[in-house]
Amino acid sequence: GNSVTQMEGPVTLSEEAFLTINCTYTATGYPSLFWYVQYPGEGLQLLLKATKADDKGSNKGFEATYRKETTSFHLEKGSVQVSDSAVYFCALTTSTGNTPLVFGKGTRLSVIA
């Protein structure tokens, strides 16, 4: 079956540090890959996505590249800010029908000034 594995948190970084959150997946077929962000007390927001191999999704300084050969979709940001403190979820789907997103367990990021 489909599954997503992402690095365990929490991750604590100083402001302006480089961020990497690892995400690997197992899927049948050709999945679309997503990163969602959840700020404290809020729902999930789509951060970025990639729908095919070698695609790079980017938004708000965050980037992730769909690597089919390593089945990975690692999230990176060159310089984090305190406002980036949130929980980040990697997810995939292989269908446009009734199949819901499959989520990783989430990685909590805390950025300190």
Which positions touch another protein (CB under 8 A)? Answer: 32, 34, 36, 41-46, 49, 51, 89, 93, 95-98, 100-101, 103-106, 108
Least separation in angstroms between residue 78's CB and another protein is 25
CB 34 within 8 A of CB 90: yes
Of 23, 33, 27, 14, the C-alpha closest to 79 is 14
Least separation in angstroms between residue 45's CB and another protein is 7
**What CA–CA distance (Å, rounded) separates 105 from 113?**
26
Least separation in angstroms between residue 65's CB and another protein is 19
Taking the least distance from each CB to another protein, the nearer of 77 and 88 is 88
Least separation in angstroms between residue 16's CB and another protein is 26
Residue 18, judged by CB atoms within 10 A of its CB (0-12, 13-18, 19+), counts as: exposed
Taking the least distance from each CB to another protein, the nearer of 48 and 111 is 48
List of residues 6+ apart from 51 with CB closer than 8 A: 32, 33, 66
Taking the least distance from each CB to another protein, the nearer of 49 and 77 is 49
